[in-house]
Amino acid sequence: MTDLRGKIALVSGASRGIGEAAARALDAAGAQVILSGRTTSDLERVAAELTHSPVVITADLSVAGAGSALAIDVLTVVDGVDIVVNNAGIPMRRMPEQLREQDVDLVYAINVRALLMLTIGLGESMKSRGGGSVINISSVAGIRGPAGRAAYAATKGAVDALTRALASDWGPAGIRVNSIAPGLIATDIWEESRQTIPGLIEDMEGQIALKRWGFSDDIADVILFFAGNDSRYVTGETLVVDGGLAKVGASAKPQLLPEMIAE
Ligand SMILES: NC(=O)c1ccc[n+]([C@@H]2O[C@H](COP(=O)([O-])OP(=O)(O)OC[C@H]3O[C@@H](n4cnc5c(N)ncnc54)[C@H](OP(=O)(O)O)[C@@H]3O)[C@@H](O)[C@H]2O)c1
């Protein structure tokens, strides 16, 4: 069991999906959780079930300066943090021909700019508490080359890259920085695709070795691993958590030649 008693954790995008599951898991392990997102009522709904004096801070991370401003707001409520879960993110599904500059700016603003500036804004406070753990949520989209995801994939590749660079910067101060690259996790982020692309969900499931979509708790358990002492000698890593999607040759149907099929 991961023991996070006495630790303070910030989770961005804590109002639903992976962020909600992370907030619940960190709280259950004993941490005080600061929940952030745009929608106060949703954050308060999650916070109401937490037990270690949760704090809600509303912030729209698409706005210039919002990452640094959120760090300042956090540090007016607590002296410092030990764990930062950079989870807030948006998808950007567009074929290249439909991708506009403002789309690229928006997805970069939330997925990369705010994430980096928020983390930097909390760095000194982690150092003053003797170190910490930063957990960035990237995506297998930053590792594979999914169609219609050029801008999104670029932001997630950037998250993995800045994870390695910050791990170099802050390793001497005892701050570990890792990322988790989820595969297909059943959350609201897929709602638009589910409605607009018939058969997409079933087709994608066929490409997963474990033959099921992931749940938010599948990611939250790995967040706990990075937050706690079990990962004390791991930094600068990206851990793919995708049931075997990115690197395993699974497909919807068995790939067998007729002569290979057992009689
Ligand atoms: N689900 C997947 O299959 C999957 C796969 C790979 C990677 N990921 C990554 O995992 C992370 C969480 O995804 P999810 O599936 O849990 O998505 P989700 O259910 O759509 O939740 C996204 C969270 O981010 C917050 N958010 C969105 N825009 C924001 C903004 N401008 N400012 C502040 N907060 C904002 C949302 O809250 P509000 O709307 O209230 O602000 C919400 O709490 C994302 O970074 C995503 O890219 C997900």
**Per-residue model confidence (pLDDT) at position 51:** 98
Distance 172 CA to ligand 1 centre (A): 31
Pocket test for ligand 1, best of 12, 24, 35, 38 (most atoms within 8 A of CB): 38
Helices (H), 140-257: 150-170, 191-196, 200-205, 216-227
- Residue in the block written with tokens 């630790």: 7
CA 66, CA 115: separation in Å to the nearest integer? 10
Give me the mean pLDDT over the 42-51 stretch. Answer: 98
Q: Report the candidate in 143, 140, 186, 173 with the shortest Cα–Cα distance to residue 18.
A: 186
By percentage, how much of the chain surpasses pLDDT 70?
95
Catalytic member of 152, 170, 190, 226: 152
Contact 182, 139 (CB under 8 A): yes
Pocket of ligand 1 (CB under 6 A): 13-19, 37-39, 42, 59-62, 87-90, 110, 137, 139, 182, 184-185, 187-189
Residue (of 166, 173, 67, 167) closest to 112 by Cα position = 67
Cβ neighbourhood burial of 224 (10 Å; 0-12, 13-18, 19+): buried
Q: How far is the CA of 189 from the centre of ligand 1 (A)?
A: 7
Nearest ligand 1 atom to the CA of 140 is: 6
pLDDT digits (tens, 9 = 90+) for 231-260: 999 999 999 999 999 888 887 666 666 666
Residue ranges of E strands in 100-251: 132-137, 175-182, 238-241
Mean pLDDT, residues 134-138 taken together: 99
Higher local confidence (pLDDT), 159 or 248 = 159
Average pLDDT over residues 221-238: 98
Q: Mean per-residue pLDDT for 177-197?
A: 91
- Which of 10, 18, 118, 144 is the best mutation target for the ligand 1 pocket, counting ligand atoms within 8 Å of the beta carbon and taking the most? 18
| Arithmetic mean of pLDDT over the chain | 95
Residue 77 CA to its chain's centroid (Å) = 23
For the sheet containing 175-182, what is the strand order?
55-58, 32-37, 8-12, 83-86, 132-137, 175-182, 238-241
Residues 6 or more apart in contact with residue 90 via CB below 8 angstroms: 106, 107, 110, 111, 189
pLDDT tens by residue, 69-127: 999 999 999 999 999 999 999 999 999 999 999 999 999 999 999 999 999 999 999 99
For 23-33, how does the pLDDT look when each residue is reduced to its tens digit (9 = 90+)?
A: 999 999 999 99
Domain boundaries, the chain: 8-245
CATH architecture of the region 8-245: 3-Layer(aba) Sandwich (3.40)
Q: What is the mean pLDDT of residues 175-191?
A: 95
User: Catalytic residue at 152?
Assistant: yes
**The pLDDT of residue 262:** 55
Q: What is the pLDDT of residue 199?
A: 86
Query: Which residue is closest in CA terms to ligand 1's atom 34?
Result: 37
